[in-house]
Amino acid sequence: MLPRLRLIRQRAVSDRELGSLPQVCRQIGFAATILLGIVTLPTHAQDGLDGFDIPGTPTLCFGMLGITEQRALDICDALTLKENVRARELAQRWIAEQPASAAAQFALAEVLIRVEGNLARALFHLSRAEELTNYTSLGRAMADGGAEWHYLALSQLSYVHQLMGDQQASLDYLDKIEAVYGQEVESFRGWPLIKMQKWDEARASADLVLSTSNDVGERSRAWNTLCAVELASLRPAESLEACDKSIAEDGAAAGEDGDRDTVYLLNASEVALSMLRMEEAEDYLTRASRYLNPDSVGDPWINLLYLYMNQGRFEEARTALDSLLVWRDNQEPIVGVMNRAEHFLVSAALLILSGYPEDAATLSATALNQPDRTGSYSADEAQKDSIAALINHMANQTAYEMKLEEAAILPLPGALSARAEALSLRFKSWRSARHAAALFANLQTLQNRLRPYAPLDVHIPEWVEPELVSIMGEGVMSSVLEETLAAGAFSLNEGYYHAYHAEIAAQRGQDLRTMEYAGRALNLLPVQEVLLRARLSARIADAAWRLDQHEIALSNYEQALQWDPSIMRRRGLALPVHITGVDDEFVSEVIGYLEGSPRFRNDPDGLLLEVFPQSDLTLCLSTRGGSPLSCLQMGEVTTLEIGVDGQTEALTPAQQLVKEFHRRTFGPGLEISQTQRMALMGSSVILSSQNNTSVQRNRDEVLQ
């Protein structure tokens, strides 16, 4: 759920949807290409302009009827048949032989967009096509004979500029289309205005469309504009009517196949989440996930994966990751350049929880360094970068803690190397935190960020958001928090407000206030916020232990471990345990490693951590009452070696047991193979656009 709100597209020119850009208040997206029936996918019919009056049987090409250039028709045929290499070769040959042809320039740009998702190069050729036509009136365009290519170029220029973040240029090209061709484009102005945060102008534009148009597509976009404007007011309840009407209008446009429309189902889920209707949001996402939509920027499995993680449903999250990869690998290239950061960041979040923080750091750094085309989202590039930096900070911090765990079981040379690596990871974590702090420094951005499930901003999971306190500082966050409360951001549930205060108090070392605020938050928060509740329980436990309230501390430690086993490691906390075992050399070695671990502190009043010297030696962490929390037998150990300073070092049986016990105790137990972790980095958008029978089989399995 990286960028929260996206453009609801115009229902297209045919029975097949064009450029499915989901979630509540979608942006112009392919809308610019749809303006006059111009699409980036082959269709059978056309809304808007039905081409120009050219003699002969009209043929659909680039979404337009009436194009007669044989070279253009050949390219369109190749694209329809997914012969992408042939389409590229034909377009390049055409432009090499006729560089002054606007048609050739547009055709190559279209191939670059559809086959490669290369918007920067496409922009160059579209601009060249405009220069070669540059008509100022319809009469001039018709007389010269290049009207269709001028029109197509203007439409795609509006679309590409919008995706690349230049909203004013997108609006300017809409004005050109209206001035030259008399096309009504008012319903497309709303989203660029929203991206520019011109709320009053966006509202006025939407009101004008609703008062003058009966077209369901135009009205859907107008209602979504109003939906976004009202949601920006930090009064979510007042936005519900506009959001519901946008869903209804888009549903009416969808007709009988409405359930197959990823767009309005994901939009509906975002509205439901902004109202804290978790079950309703999940229902919309589940419906959306039943139908693979290669043209959709919104992958419902991203949203479901975040939702499952929030709720501590780790096995379902693991399954969602598989389905997410199938969906991603079937996306069209133009979609891939728009939502790749979403895939990287949601995968990184799961990898952090699952005990693979260094892979998570790689994914989040990739999301931070690769520019996404965020014009289809309410969030912008800076917001995407802010969460990428925050996730990278968490990943490196978690990797730092794991290196300290490894150092505790290694002999001196290996321990020194592991600690040196740990310090390097800590520096990377600090650097990412500073970067994130700089990106979150804008007061309005930070205030919007504190709102639960803020629908206009980049999505940060609610269990991650308290990290903002440590990177921004308690004083800043305390001040912003009160302003956000006064603005009504927590009107639906003040539990989130108290959760932030608990984190602020914990950072200040105010143990009594930490327990007080965390207790209030736990009483108010939705039960689905499992990972956030685990963080609060860990805060209560840590504070209570320092106050010698051991019973309260132990019960909260137990609860935190049951909800989110990774919380102790991610927060760098040590679990008080009473370590026991018989007088045996092997048992003594194991106990020594446990006592040196940063995850445990030996205390007679702590939880029970017992080493049983049976035929198959067993480690078991239990409650004071004897109920097991985490147990491991020597025969279950699979970890045989460890990587230190780029080298692989074999582990003794005692080291193997302790390392595996840490993995089992402080993680959800999810196995994600190295092959799949490498696959999460993604593949070439060109290759992913080709037909692949194995991918098709995976697609069929997901749909069954």
45, pLDDT greater than 50: no
pLDDT digits (tens, 9 = 90+) for 336-372: 778 888 889 999 999 999 999 999 999 999 988 876 5
CATH number for the domain including 41?
A: 1.25.40.10
Residues composing the chain: 704
Read off the pLDDT band of 334 (50, 70, 90).
confident
Find where tokens 């308690």 sit. 474
In a domain, 42, yes or no: yes
pLDDT of residue 560: 97
Calculated CA dihedral for residues 599, 602, 606, 610, nearest 10 degrees: 90
In this structure, are residues 95 and 104 in contact, taking their beta carbons and an 8 Å threshold?
A: yes
Q: Which of 184, 208, 235 is the last residue of a domain?
A: 184
pLDDT of residue 194: 84
pLDDT of residue 371: 64
pLDDT of residue 602: 94
Report, as an integer, the average pLDDT of 442-466.
80
Q: How far apart are CA 454 and CA 452, in angstroms?
A: 5
Report, as an integer, the average pLDDT of 112-126.
92
Write out the DSSP string of 190-246.
Answer: HHHHHHTT-HHHHHHHHHHHHHH---HHHHHHHHHHHHHHHHTTT-HHHHHHHHHHH
pTM here is 0.83
Q: Which of 156, 184, 212 is the last residue of a domain?
A: 184
Helices within 564-628 (DSSP H only): 567-570, 585-596
Read off the pLDDT band of 236 (50, 70, 90).
low
The larger pLDDT score, comparing residue 61 to residue 271, is at: 61
- Closest CA relative to residue 385, chosen from 427, 426, 435, 339: 435
Highest-scoring range by mean pLDDT, 66-70, 112-116, 431-435, 667-671? 431-435
Sign of CA dihedral 111, 114, 115, 116: positive
- Closest CA relative to residue 103, chosen from 161, 64, 139, 47: 64
pLDDT digits (tens, 9 = 90+) for 582-628: 888 889 999 999 999 999 999 999 999 999 876 577 899 999 888 99
pLDDT of residue 231: 67
Report, as an integer, the average pLDDT of 116-125.
92
Q: Which of 184, 200, 228 is the last residue of a domain?
A: 184
pLDDT digits (tens, 9 = 90+) for 187-227: 889 888 888 888 889 989 999 999 998 888 788 888 878 87
Question: Which stretch of 182-191, 207-216, 235-244 has the lowest confidence by average pLDDT?
Answer: 235-244
pLDDT digits (tens, 9 = 90+) for 426-439: 999 999 999 999 98
Q: How far apart are CA 464 and CA 433, in angstroms?
A: 13
327, pLDDT greater than 80: yes
In a domain, 193, yes or no: no
Highest-scoring range by mean pLDDT, 262-276, 352-366, 379-393? 352-366
Report, as an integer, the average pLDDT of 665-684.
83
Read off the pLDDT band of 56 (50, 70, 90).
very low
In a domain, 286, yes or no: no
Read off the pLDDT band of 464 (50, 70, 90).
very high
635, pLDDT greater than 90: no
The larger pLDDT score, comparing residue 347 to residue 36, is at: 347
In a domain, 159, yes or no: yes
Calculated CA dihedral for residues 110, 116, 122, 125, nearest 10 degrees: -70
The larger pLDDT score, comparing residue 155 to residue 58, is at: 155
Question: Which stretch of 42-46, 107-111, 125-129, 468-472 has the lowest confidence by average pLDDT?
Answer: 42-46
Amino acid at 177: I
pLDDT digits (tens, 9 = 90+) for 505-519: 999 999 999 999 999
pLDDT of residue 377: 58
Read off the pLDDT band of 376 (50, 70, 90).
low
The larger pLDDT score, comparing residue 5 to residue 455, is at: 455
The percentage of residues in the chain with a pLDDT greater than 70, rounded to a whole number, is 80
* Phi, psi torsion values for 578, nearest 5 degrees: -105, 105
The larger pLDDT score, comparing residue 612 to residue 236, is at: 612
Report, as an integer, the average pLDDT of 685-692.
38
The per-residue b/e assignment along 350-387, b for 16 or more CB within 10 angstroms, e otherwise, is: bbbbbbbbbbbbbbbbbbbeeebbbbbbbbbbebbbbb
> Domain limits at 656?
574-671
pLDDT of residue 682: 65
pLDDT digits (tens, 9 = 90+) for 255-265: 544 444 576 67
Residue 191: both structure tokens together:
């989203």
- Closest CA relative to residue 384, chosen from 374, 393, 392: 374
Read off the pLDDT band of 487 (50, 70, 90).
confident
| Domain total in the chain | 2
pLDDT of residue 6: 54
pLDDT of residue 101: 95
pLDDT of residue 162: 87
Q: How far apart are CA 665 and CA 680, in angstroms?
A: 25
In a domain, 116, yes or no: yes
Please provide the average confidence, as pLDDT, over all residues in the chain. Answer: 82
In a domain, 135, yes or no: yes
